[in-house]
Structure 1
Amino acid sequence: MERPLVSIVIPVYNVEPFLRECLDSVINQTIRNIEIICVDDGSTDNSLNILKEFQGNDARIKVISKPNSGYGNTMNVGTDAATGEYVGIVESDDYVKREMFETLYKATQKYKADIVKSDHYTFSTQNGKQQSELHYTCSKQEYYNRVLNASNCEDIYDFVMMNWTGIYKTEFLRKNQIRYNETPGASFQDNGFWFQTITMAERIVFIRDAFYFYRQDNPNSSINSKKKIFCICDEFEYIKEFLKKHPDAYEKHLLTYVKKKFFNYRHSYGRIAEEYKMEFLLREKKEYFEDLKELGDKKTKLDPWVLGEMNRIIDSPELFYYEQNLYDAKEEAEKIHEAWELLINSKEFQNGLAWKKRLHM
């Protein structure tokens, strides 16, 4: 039997409303020699039945059903089952253009690439109408359609962090033992896979075209569950342990790891519910102290502002907490003032004042 060119892994968990659209987009790919590995992570809705229905109509579909164990384990199970030359990923509430995997595979052959990635769309459906927005993966036009890696392009760590926009050489993943973190119930597990692949690949190509439609969730939701607070910390600990297993990568990319972690932690801090922020800062203090110690003299290569912020947290997380709250309150007050100025200077407000004066004459 001919080896599939691409194995497409679809992790599934309670996505009944969106699953048919996803599967239709994958089975109708213009490249026919693919395998489609659907891993159901203990869905409690009708998702598994939908998978079996599609499997009955398409021999390329493999369905793996297992008890719920989280996203990381689900992705590892799917990747382990892959027999294709390359591995792709489609989230089960998203969908892709018909030509996606053929285009990506052709690029792997042209550039002899470990990884080929593309741009993507975010989308949402409101009142039955879909609204989508194009997002470019690379920070500069010059980075497209050429072979890059973490050694010849420092900016690569600043590119948009999405795993499902590309395909990955199966041999490359297995040779470097690249896997998802399997902490049960954890979030942010795509961070580890992304960092590992970008760090270890010798030949990465980005193409200036978009095929993937990513369903946009509410970006303003806060982390209210205490058990989710430290998931981002656990993920970066997983990345560090991976780097330590690869001494050359650890030596070359520890500085980048620390920078990436800082900005991820800062973003997460802004989303954490107020009652958990101090606990998070205490975790940051401990980790930043260890990171700067491991960096040694290399810490001077950090952006001065980043290094300063890390030291602020190390010196006094309590003071950082109160100063940050004051800063946030000042920003909020300025927004309220700007809104008030717009209101009182608006034509509608002035007309209302004039009408009120006439009523009292």
Structure 2
Amino acid sequence: MAKVSIIIPTYNVEMFLDECLESIQRQTLQDIEIICVNDGSTDHSLEIIKKYAENDPRFVIVDKENGGYGKTMNVGLDKATGEYIGIVEPDDYVPLAMYEDLYKIAKENDLDMVKADFYRFTRNPENGNMNLVYNHLDLTGKWYGKLFDPSEEPETLRFIMNTWSGIYKREFLEQHHIRHNETPGASFQDNGFYFQTFVYAKRAMIVDKPYYMNRRDNPNSSVNNREKVYCCNVEYDYIREILMKDPEIWSRFKYMYSLKKFHTYNFTLQRIGEQFKREYVQRISQEFKRAKENGELKQGAFYPVEWDDMMLLIQEPDAYYFKICLKNKQIRSLEKKVASLENSTTMKVGRVIMFIPLKIKKLFKKK
């Protein structure tokens, strides 16, 4: 049995796949199983995977008809035999020691899961320069490096949501039947998996060291799809059904469920096309209004500014639309104008003109 099974759900990612697979193949933890699930790719992704499998017996290929992300991940989870499970998106990559380090922590503390900070990055297509943004799972800093029980600490759901920056004990996933939503054509089906791991895990840790490299410049990524408007709503309906199966779990997690839903829906507002935003605000306003009437919102679960925004959304959705959507649109417009101005000849000449008197001023100061 491998120490870690790493699942790569693959669909039309030939541009990035070599970088991803090579980073996994070169892990310092050698005892790994690399499960590539090809979800009916129509580009050269399958051929690239086969190239690696020919020379490395640790690669396991599953080639299936296109069925969506949730189904693809579940096929990989069913195929895995490792002690722990890792997930790598095929347009991302991982540093060499990631799985060795996380596996050591997981074993030493007998963890159901361990997760780490991560980087988000983009690359300049002209010169290849990388822009890195460090992402802290826990913005408070109080949960790092200590053992905690997520099933008794709903607050930990506030961590930045992802499923790929850590590893999960396979026995734990099997015991609680933790899988992804398989709704055809849906997206963001990792949200449900994330919730289940926190609801059922008893022993977990997070690490204040970044490993995973999460790409943000793949134009085919779900986060850049401006037309999938209600996919997150569908996913949160699925999460709600899971939580409500156990009244005790629902009672404990309903407030954080509403908070994470609010965060996710606001992310959706930033992602979708302008033509959909006003309608979307009206839809989620009604959804949260029902949640408030059903006792699913608690002011103490929100930061003050979040609660104010929630009340504005419920009571005055048009005002919320103008505040959130139009303000952000104006900011983006101003940013473009500033960037254009900074690159203009006028600005460059102005900098030269300002540079000379500043130099003279500094000379006088020295005297």
Shift of 1:350: 12
Alignment of 1:21-170 (within 5 A): 21-126=19-124, 127-150=127-150, 153=153, 155-170=155-170
Alignment of 1:253-272 (within 5 A): 253-272=253-272
Shift of 1:252: 0.4
SS at match of 2:16: helix
SS at match of 2:137: coil
Q: Provide the rounded CA distance (Å) in 2 between the counterparts of 1:123 and 1:208.
A: 18
Q: 1:246 to 1:85 in 2, by over 3 A?
A: farther
SS at match of 1:35: strand
- Asked whether 1:299 is paired with 2:298, we answer yes
SS at match of 1:69: coil
SS at match of 1:147: coil
Q: Structure 1: which amino acid aligns with 2:247?
A: P
Q: Please, what TM-score do these two structures have when normalized by structure 1? A: 0.83
Shift of 1:308: 4.7
Q: 1:327 to 1:215 in 2, by over 3 A?
A: closer
Q: 1:312 to 1:198 in 2, by over 3 A?
A: same
Contact 2:151–2:198 under 8 Å retained in 1: no
Q: Structure 2: which amino acid aligns with 1:348?
A: G
Q: Provide the rounded CA distance (Å) in 2 between the counterparts of 1:129 and 1:334.
A: 25
Contact 2:151–2:201 under 8 Å retained in 1: no
Number of residue equivalences? 347
Q: 1:273 to 1:55 in 2, by over 3 A?
A: same
Q: Structure 2: which amino acid aligns with 1:144?
A: Y
Q: Structure 1: which amino acid aligns with 2:121?
A: F
Shift of 1:322: 5.2
Q: Please, what TM-score do these two structures have when normalized by structure 2? A: 0.82
Shift of 1:185: 2.2
Shift of 1:305: 5.0
Shift of 1:283: 2.1
Alignment of 1:190-339 (within 5 A): 190-217=190-217, 224-225=226-227, 228-295=228-295, 299-303=298-302, 305-318=305-318, 320-321=320-321
Q: Structure 2: which amino acid aligns with 1:71?
A: Y
Q: Which residue of 2 aligns with 1:348?
A: 350
SS at match of 2:264: helix
Q: Which residue of 1 aligns with 2:365?
A: none
Q: Provide the rounded CA distance (Å) in 2 between the counterparts of 1:154 and 1:197.
A: 12
CA offset digits 1:144-201 (Å, max 9, x no partner): 2211233565542222222111000111112222211222222222222112212221
Q: 1:274 to 1:21 in 2, by over 3 A?
A: closer
CA offset digits 1:102-149 (Å, max 9, x no partner): 111111111110001112223333313444343332224442221123
Instruction: Specify every segment of 5 or more residues in structure 2 that has no aligned partner in the other structure, as ranges.
Output: 355-367
Q: Provide the rounded CA distance (Å) in 1 between the counterparts of 2:37 and 2:160.
A: 26
CA offset digits 1:229-264 (Å, max 9, x no partner): 001111111111110123222110100111111122
SS at match of 1:229: coil
Q: Structure 1: which amino acid aligns with 2:291?
A: D
Contact 2:147–2:205 under 8 Å retained in 1: yes
Q: 1:13 to 1:323 in 2, by over 3 A?
A: closer
Q: 1:172 to 1:313 in 2, by over 3 A?
A: same
Q: Provide the rounded CA distance (Å) in 2 between the counterparts of 1:129 and 1:346.
A: 23
Q: 1:350 to 1:325 in 2, by over 3 A?
A: same
Q: Provide the rounded CA distance (Å) in 2 between the counterparts of 1:347 and 1:153.
A: 57
SS at match of 1:148: coil
Contact 1:222–1:273 under 8 Å retained in 2: no
Using the TM superposition, name which of 77-86 and 201-210 deviates more: 201-210
Q: Provide the rounded CA distance (Å) in 1 between the counterparts of 2:47 and 2:347.
A: 59
Q: 1:268 to 1:171 in 2, by over 3 A?
A: same
% identical aligned pairs: 40
The two structures, once aligned, show a CA RMSD in angstroms of: 3.4
SS at match of 1:25: helix
Contact 1:149–1:199 under 8 Å retained in 2: no
Q: 1:109 to 1:60 in 2, by over 3 A?
A: same
Shift of 1:66: 0.7
